[in-house]
């Protein structure tokens, strides 16, 4: 079968809207500028659409210079300059679930903009240059132990930003097509892939074939599929309206319930990157199967 990259997405601000790319840079920490910012509440706790679905209506953009702009209906455009001199910003502890990392504050203007739109006190933090948050060593090392022959020298350490647990999420369009067939058979509208907030979407795979993959190769890159992704209620949020429903969660749970949870997509880490590495729509991939 011929498998290729169908679409690419980044989410500069954790749990806000995504950006679709025809081509995007890649590092060992994931796609360029993915989840490099996080919104925290007045107690310093990170915020997501799970509790604050209006976050889906905040649309980030990145300028060619790297400046972040935020757009939302009824709000002026906010520009957050990309600071290159971040050698000594104040470290602010951030906990993403049970993972501890560091951020630095992007200032009062960003805090006021977000607080006005979300209607509660909050602030915008960017990944601190001294942050050392790494993907789960248990999952990465377990994968390395199983695939020493097929991926010799695969690194154990994968530093990344404010994503939930891993630098990359890979999904399969064939799986979404199958889910949408089930939804439509029940009289529901199909859902777009952005509900699942992937980074890399593959085409050419049968439905849920990703369950059986150890990873994939794209040129010199090796992607290790280290953990299937358990889904929370976020896919039930309409990203155009922030309205919270019950689908596709109910239908997905009817046929994708496993001991690890309701599963859709795979968490991944990558090796083989170098300065200037990029991924593009249409890039072909070679599949790696568990044996």
Q: What is the per-residue pLDDT for 87?
A: 67
Structure tokens given for 46 = 């990170």
Structure tokens given for 106 = 């992007």
The three-state (H, E, C) secondary structure of 118-161, written as one string: HCCCEEEEEECCCCCCECCHHHHHHHHHHCCCCCCCCCCCCECC
Q: What is the pLDDT of residues 4-38, one digit of tens each?
A: 999 999 999 999 999 999 999 999 999 999 999 99
Inter-CA distances, 291 with 93, 142, 208, 212, Å:
41, 14, 17, 9
Q: What is the pLDDT of residues 159-195, one digit of tens each?
A: 999 999 999 999 999 999 999 999 999 999 999 999 9
Which residues in the chain show pLDDT less than 50? none
Q: What is the per-residue pLDDT for 64?
A: 87
Domain CATH for 8 = 2.40.33.20
Number of domains in the chain: 1
Expressed as residue numbers, the domain containing 119 is 3-289
Question: CA-to-CA distance for 240 and 17, rounded, in angstroms?
Answer: 9
Question: CA-to-CA distance for 124 and 25, rounded, in angstroms?
Answer: 24
Q: What is the per-residue pLDDT for 86?
A: 62
Q: Global pTM?
A: 0.96
User: Which one-letter DSSP state was computed for residue 185?
Assistant: H
């Amino acid at each position: 079968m011929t498998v290729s990259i169908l679409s690419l997405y980044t989410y500069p601000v954790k749990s806000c809207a995504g950006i679709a790319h025809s081509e995007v840079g890649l590092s060992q920490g994931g796609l360029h500028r993915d989840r490099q910012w996080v919104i925290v509440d007045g107690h310093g706790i990170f915020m997501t659409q799970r509790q604050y679905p209006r976050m889906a209506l905040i649309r980030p953009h990145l300028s060619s210079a790297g400046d972040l702009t935020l757009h939302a209906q009824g709000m002026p455009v906010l520009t957050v300059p990309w600071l290159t001199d971040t050698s000594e910003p104040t470290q602010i502890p951030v906990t993403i679930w049970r993972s501890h990392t560091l951020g630095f504050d992007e200032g009062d203007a960003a805090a006021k903009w977000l607080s006005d739109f979300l209607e509660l006190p909050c602030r915008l933090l960017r990944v601190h240059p001294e942050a050392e948050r790494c993907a789960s060593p248990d999952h990465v090392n377990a994968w390395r132990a199983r695939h020493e022959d097929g991926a010799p020298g695969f690194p154990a350490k994968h530093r990344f930003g404010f994503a939930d647990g891993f630098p990359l999420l890979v999904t399969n369009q064939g799986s979404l097509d199958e889910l949408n067939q089930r939804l439509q058979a029940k009289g529901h509208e199909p859902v777009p892939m952005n509900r699942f907030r992937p980074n890399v979407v593959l085409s050419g795979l049968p439905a849920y074939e990703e369950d059986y993959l150890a990873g994939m190769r794209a040129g010199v890159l090796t992607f290790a599929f280290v953990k299937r992704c358990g889904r929370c209620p976020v896919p039930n949020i309409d990203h155009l309206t922030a309205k919270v429903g019950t689908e596709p969660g109910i239908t997905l749970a009817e046929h994708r319930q496993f001991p690890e949870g309701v599963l859709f997509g795979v968490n991944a880490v990558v090796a083989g990157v170098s300065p200037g590495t990029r991924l593009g729509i249409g890039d072909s991939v070679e599949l790696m199967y568990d044996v």
